[in-house]
Amino acid sequence: MDIFENAPELALEWHRAGRGAALATVVETWGSAPRRTGAMLVVSGDGEMMGSVSGGCVEGAVVLEAQDALAEGAPRLLEYGVSDGDAFAVGLACGGTIRILVEPVGSALDARLLEQIVDARAARRQVAYVVNTADWSRAVVSDGYDTRFAMDRSGVEDDGTTFVHIHNPPLRLIVVGAVHIAQALLPMARIAGYDPVVIDPRGAFGSQARFPGETILDDWPDEALDAVGLDARTALVLLTHDPKLDDPALHRALNSKAFYIGALGSKRTHASRVARLDAAGFDAAAIDRIHGPVGLDIGAASPPEIAVSILAQMVRALRRGA
């Protein structure tokens, strides 16, 4: 989890340490705002900040507002226009407008609610933090916003006053097969916000020398998947070409809510895979969830290029659906 994603955890840590903490969250955007709705910045009582709400355009002003909010113990809504010049400086073609909610922890935002959010994130449970900016009532809920959970989309409801901040479990990539493509795919996926895991019972493949700093499981894929779990925020990529390794993993995946399932192999290899799954009792709708041959057809040839095509297909499945 990077600095742009761990604001709730950091805010709770700073609050417990007695430093004071305020969470600033983007609640609405218009135009080409630099950061999407739900982006967070945490500010300490002594002015330290982590995270981002605008890509650098208005952070300084938000820090001052957050410190004032901490002194008053009250929330506030801020609105900023991001000029075309500032937007260009952070890589955008034109500017926009952002509205930011600032909440001091312990006064405006009850620390117990923040603890619920942090605990749910640690347990990979989806929750939504719901704030009514008219009466400042707040709640942490786990259902009632199915579309927002599915689209991973925070925002203001039609009433214009209820802000729903979606906290989905972190994205996770599980790769079966510690091969050359995996060596390129894991760091790319980490940069894109995924927590990667590689599974391979073959010790010569799944080693720290080949995957420095990564989580490596040397169990058989079905046993490893039973241990780590497959949920709606997980992508599974199979790279071994070996039915003994891939097929048990596929059986687990097709009975899960994994948002992406990809399997390496030629069209002929995939046809054989489909036949085996059909014989195992999986219907056509289930089998059609598999992206095989894996990756978008961009003419990829080298392992890094194939990794790019896989990651792009994962993003498309996540954001646009299978």
Q: Give the span between the Cα atoms of 200 and 220, in whole angstroms.
A: 7
Query: Domain containing 209: what range?
Result: 172-320
- Looking at the structure, do residues 22 and 133 belong to the same domain, yes or no? yes
Please check the confidence at residue 257 and state whether its pLDDT lies above 80: yes
Q: What percent of the chain has pLDDT over 70?
A: 92
1 domain residue, yes or no: no
**How do residues 275-305 score in pLDDT, each as one tens digit?**
999 999 999 999 999 999 999 999 999 999 9
Domain of 284, CATH number, reads 3.40.50.720
- Looking at the structure, do residues 177 and 129 belong to the same domain, yes or no? no
Q: Which of 163-167, 203-207, 289-293 has the lowest mean pLDDT?
A: 203-207
- State the pairing for strand pair 172-176/138-141: unpaired
Query: Pick from 136, 167, 198: which residue ends a domain?
Result: 167
2 domain residue, yes or no: no
What average pLDDT does this structure show over 231-239? 94
276 domain residue, yes or no: yes
Average pLDDT, the chain: 90
137 domain residue, yes or no: yes
What average pLDDT does this structure show over 197-221? 91
Q: Could you give phi then psi for residue 242, rounded to 5 degrees?
A: -105, 115
What lies within 8 Å, CB to CB, of 11 at 6+ separation is: 21, 22, 23, 42, 105, 114
Q: Give the span between the Cα atoms of 34 and 81, in whole angstroms.
A: 11
Q: Provide the domain count of the chain.
A: 2
Q: What is the pLDDT of residue 34?
A: 64
Residue 253 tokens read as: 């995946």
**How do residues 64-117 score in pLDDT, each as one tens digit?**
999 999 999 999 999 887 665 554 444 444 557 889 999 999 999 999 999 999
216 domain residue, yes or no: yes
Q: What is the pLDDT of residue 322?
A: 60
213: nearest Cα among 237, 192, 183, 171: 183
Query: Pick from 143, 167, 191: which residue ends a domain?
Result: 167
- Looking at the structure, do residues 236 and 115 belong to the same domain, yes or no? no
66 domain residue, yes or no: yes
Residue 250 tokens read as: 């596929």
11 domain residue, yes or no: yes
Q: What is the pLDDT of residue 97?
A: 82
pTM of the entire predicted model:
0.74
| Burial class for 98, CB neighbours closer than 10 Å (0-12, 13-18, 19+) | buried
- Cα 182 versus chain centre, distance: 20
- Looking at the structure, do residues 145 and 196 belong to the same domain, yes or no? no
